[in-house]
Structure 1
């Protein structure tokens, strides 16, 4: 007898979910980085298998939100928190500027070169962030954009929340594109 699937389990075969198998009894660092890894992977899974037009497709007017915009936004968020605010690197923002504060979403055009650049940027920023989180004490204090002190520990929790919130958006965007939902 086949076990019925819940509606939210219809995105992929549960036996092939690459987010399974992480730490369940790990220490604080392992727990935080594993939850963040799974959230990052969820965004990647929501975007996989789509062409440039589908990735750039907007949700509903007047929103500029798209999966490609979310990918670009999260590359910008990773860069801002890990490189700029914690590692102290003097690097420019990737997509946003004073003239174009929503450049991450507004620039999400249905062009394969834009898609390729967004994936490369996101992967580069995630790789930097993963290395930084491995090498830095969880109590290290950086600063939020308003100058408020924040520990690496708290920032990792914030990143999990940021991805989780946007992965909810990604669920709806993906369902609208091709009907795939859940997980």
Structure 2
């Protein structure tokens, strides 16, 4: 499926790639097949952080990374060490977004993972990963997620919960099927 839509860098085309069976045309561009990727004027760059940093360099306004080198390095660290330090860091900063009063690179790199949390909760039938009665750091992260959902740029790209759930369910079914095939294969081999 391909869609054209506006972005901060003008018009672009979105081409969704099946992550399980990436098409040959995509693998011919980049054999490891990491997504997303940008292609423009015969130039091709894959991987989320790399493509985001390229867009930041090509279109520096508004800035997504802090101007101050130490803060920029700290944000890059948190992008690479996604996980529990993030909630504590957001609470420590005391700002609505990691970047400050608006989303920046760290916010945008963390968002896709946060967007999927509700789907994991639903598919795994577990308690919410960000409970409403959580401590100060969890509340800060919940408030941040709510602000991110309402951001004009993020809201145009939000994937519906149903799509995330469907992906996780089909992924889970595929894993179970593969485990059954492997168990059957092992059983047959041990009978030989």
TM-score past 0.5 threshold: no
Higher relative contact order (CA 8 A, sep 6+): 1
| Higher normalized strand content (fraction of residues) | 2
Larger Rg: 2
